[in-house]
Amino acid sequence: MIATFAAPSANDIPLHAVQSADLESFFAALPSRQMAWIQGNGFTARLGQTITIPDAHGNVSAAVVGLGDAKARLRTKFGAAKAASHLPAGTYALSGDISQELTTEIALGWLFEGYRFSRYHDQEKPKARLARPIGIDCDRLEAIAAGEFLTRDLINTPASDMGPDALEAAAQCLAEKFGASFSAIRGDDLLEQNFPMIHTVGRAADRAPRLIELNWGSTGPAVTLVGKGVCFDTGGLNLKPGSSMGLMKKDMGGAATVLGLAHMIMALALPIRLRVLVPAVENSVAGNAFRPQDILTSRKGLTVEINNTDAEGRLVLADALALADEADPDLVISMATLTGAARVAVGADIAPFFTDDDQIAAEISTAGAQSLDPVWRLPLHPAYESMIEPGIADLDNAPSGGKAGAITAALFLRRFVDARYVHFDIFGWQQAPAPSRPKGGFGQGARALLDFLEGMAKG
């Protein structure tokens, strides 16, 4: 699916974007007939409210979308995007005395609102298009939307059609599109090339585990993105109950988000030496599945006691992070649907992240606010290090006690990286339809990271 703006033309329908505080002045500038029509239909400029204005022949001559007030827009991101689904067919040209920031929000939300997952069932798409708004970087917004749509498609596709092999094919297609180099290590070759924990987690599945790699760019800072690609998670021998297994097609949401972010970076030709690593596995149940109390030796040489086979994501990430670190990059970023504890801490809408670098944390937080991509820093609390040290091995993959689960998972991952490091523990799923986000998979943290990486690339 491609999200683009329409080319402007003289036949575009004016779309007036009006804030609640500006409603009276908007009315005052209208012909009396139009003002009476809008008032008579109860238009109050609440966020996302739309109305069309007919001409003398009953055709749409103009339309109006409400922007509400600042509080409403904070409560509902991209709230004005509902106009894309509510307006009749036509191409609309945004009009009104609104800021560049608001114009950008409306335009990006409009693109996002056009997403439909139609692989298995036809979905009606919005018939209203938006002409390229003046004064904003429309190419950038189209690149962001394309990356986001890739992420959504990958997450929404069920594991029957999105196993490790299909995830590899999607990554290879992305690499070919932008001229990136691509490689993958599969099956028993993982053992031969020293990725023992990726192999162990995925060996029980019919579709072989693999480590997917993409490289692009020759100038700028070296940035490695690592995405958890658990294409389905049964929990292994610590089998999940059915209620917990129902959404596990999204357990590759970290990989999907990393690939969507990579799309944005490459489409915008950011001066970054980009490396993407995706350990892609299924955590399945079979006679050769790994077991509780097993002790695994990682690529880095650290030993890990398995106290829950359902804490597998950190295992596959650990081997990939160790590989990433060996190249001494300027920054390593991991993204994963890793812990339920993160959801308990900040809910489904916020992407928590961890880093030891205060400057990076501040810049990512600022970027998240600017891009309407909410993020929140959680602490890598040193006192909890002992919780991931079982005594019989270097590390414990599932500390007992049920406390600080997101933090202990991040502390576990940090043991495999010496470079500057940021870890995102995302949810990747919209539980109910919202403006610009239908129910289903969606990217978290990617827009915040894109803003941050643009600044990093500029120095």
Catalytic residue positions? 240, 314
Both structure tokens of 349: 């809408």
Strands 429-430 and 395-396: unpaired
Distance between CA atoms of residues 252 and 336, nearest Å: 7
Q: Which residue has the tokens 């924990």?
A: 197
Give the CA angle between residues 231, 364, 455 to the nearest 5°. 110
Q: At what angle do helices 253-267 and 164-178 cross, to 10 degrees?
A: 10
Nearest to 108 by CA among 435, 365, 369, 376: 435
Q: 3-state DSSP call for residue 446? A: helix
Do the beta carbons of residue 199 and residue 190 sit within 8 Å?
Answer: yes
Q: 3-state DSSP call for residue 233? A: strand
Chain center to CA of 123: 22
Nearest to 297 by CA among 403, 198, 399, 385: 198
Both structure tokens of 271: 């001066």
Backbone angles phi, psi at 76, to 5 degrees: -130, 100
Do the beta carbons of residue 148 and residue 262 sit within 8 Å?
Answer: no
